[in-house]
Structure 1
């Protein structure tokens, strides 16, 4: 079996589209089709069922896929081993969310910029479901998640710690200083939130249930904080993102504890052999998160 045929097969099997696989591999669609057919001919089995405009793996294709991924990963590892220098090098595509990118990752990015300049980091801001999908499809090498669930189908994940959340308001807000706030009381005032799909926004909205009014949506955490400070509503945010404003008095914490817990996690596709420079990133991330002020 030729490696290039396995690479093409793995991509088609992951995205379940000859057209999309061709685009991601920078091939003509006819080349992808002919390579899959060549692999099928060499094995004497059909690997995909063609169902009109859709495809799915046959039983033989399902059996081959984990072996193809192992072979591809081993080939990448062998290539890295024979070309390796003492200095870590390579690319890492990381799917991550704004709160982690802006408030937890800067020390790590600075470390890699100065100490490991041959490691090229690409951060892709995505919400949780999109990150999980991209990891399964092989688009991202790693994913940084802020989720309630800690097990994800088809992925290996490691919990770095609990991420504390806090409900904040402007100091002069009517709920500031009130004790034992209820969901009904929270829903009776304006709510500021990030976009739908953000784990803590969605969980907060579900908790308010039938009382939940429409959120005044802001595109970023920074914009959300400014909206809250201007008295436009209250917002549930990771504590690390508002620690400066709470310390300065620009925002105040309300007396409400979320009945759910989110965890900062790092994830990668199950069965994927992480290259040395990717393992280095994971190790340094563990260390810096555990040592950082306000760490989970």
Structure 2
């Protein structure tokens, strides 16, 4: 089996599209198709089921995929051991989320911009399951998670900081300045970002134990903050995202203690040897993000 055929197979298996794989590998689509056929011929087995415009892995393809990834990673590790430059360089695809990109990552991004300009950071905004899946598939090199759990199958993680949460509302809200129990929140307008965000989902779990919950969804943290400040309802958000508004008084913090704890984490695929620029990113994320938290 030729390495280039395995690289093409792994890419097609990851994105499940000959067209997209060709674009990401800078090949003509016909070249990708011919390489997959050559690999199937050499193995004597079909690797993909063609379902009209869609494809999926066959059982043989499913069995081959982990071996292909191991071979590719070992090849990259061998190449890096011989040719890795003293100055880290290369592209690092990073899964992140709005709250971290805006409020936690600027010192880390500034560090790489000024100290290591040869490292290109490609930030991709996803949350939760999407980030974990992209890491397992190799679409992302590393990814930030804000989760209650710190162990994720198929991933290795570094916990960077506990992420405090704040339940906020507009000044003058009926619950401002008094102790607040979860039962006090039932029947009140609630604001939230999109489903899949860990703190929103955990908040919904707590409230749903008492009664069905409906959120007014605003998509982004900034929009949710503005809606809360305008008196449209109550929102649970990472404390770091509302610190400025709490300081200036456009939002107030309600005296409710979240019964769960979130941790900001950096994750990558288990068993993957990170190249020098990725190891540097993990090291500096540990230092710079942890210092803030």
- What TM-score results when the alignment is normalised by the length of structure 1? 0.88
Residue pairs, 1:71-90, within 5 angstroms: 71-90=71-90
**Displacement after TM superposition at 1:83 (Å):** 4.6
Whole-angstrom CA distance in 1 between matches of 2:125 and 2:166: 22
Aligned to 1:94: 94
**Displacement after TM superposition at 1:51 (Å):** 6.8
Whole-angstrom CA distance in 2 between matches of 1:173 and 1:77: 58
Checking the alignment, whether the CA contact within 8 Å between 1:97 and 1:144 is kept in structure 2 is yes
Whole-angstrom CA distance in 1 between matches of 2:124 and 2:174: 38
Aligned to 1:203: 202
Aligned to 1:13: 13
Aligned to 1:189: 188
Aligned to 2:252: 252
Distance 1:167 1:45, change over 3 A: same
Aligned to 2:107: 107
Q: Secondary structure at the match of 2:188?
A: coil
**Displacement after TM superposition at 1:173 (Å):** 0.6
**Displacement after TM superposition at 1:80 (Å):** 4.2
Whole-angstrom CA distance in 2 between matches of 1:243 and 1:192: 18
Q: Secondary structure at the match of 2:255?
A: coil
Matched, 1:27 2:27: yes
Whole-angstrom CA distance in 1 between matches of 2:169 and 2:225: 9
Whole-angstrom CA distance in 2 between matches of 1:26 and 1:144: 28
Checking the alignment, whether the CA contact within 8 Å between 2:14 and 2:139 is kept in structure 1 is no
Let me know the Cα RMSD of the aligned residues.
2.3
Distance 1:271 1:113, change over 3 A: same
**Displacement after TM superposition at 1:226 (Å):** 1.9
Whole-angstrom CA distance in 2 between matches of 1:37 and 1:24: 19
Q: What runs of 5+ residues in structure 1 fail to find an aligned partner? A: none
Checking the alignment, whether the CA contact within 8 Å between 1:46 and 1:58 is kept in structure 2 is no
Checking the alignment, whether the CA contact within 8 Å between 1:13 and 1:57 is kept in structure 2 is no
Matched, 1:280 2:277: no
Aligned to 2:266: 266
Checking the alignment, whether the CA contact within 8 Å between 2:161 and 2:263 is kept in structure 1 is yes
**Displacement after TM superposition at 1:11 (Å):** 1.8
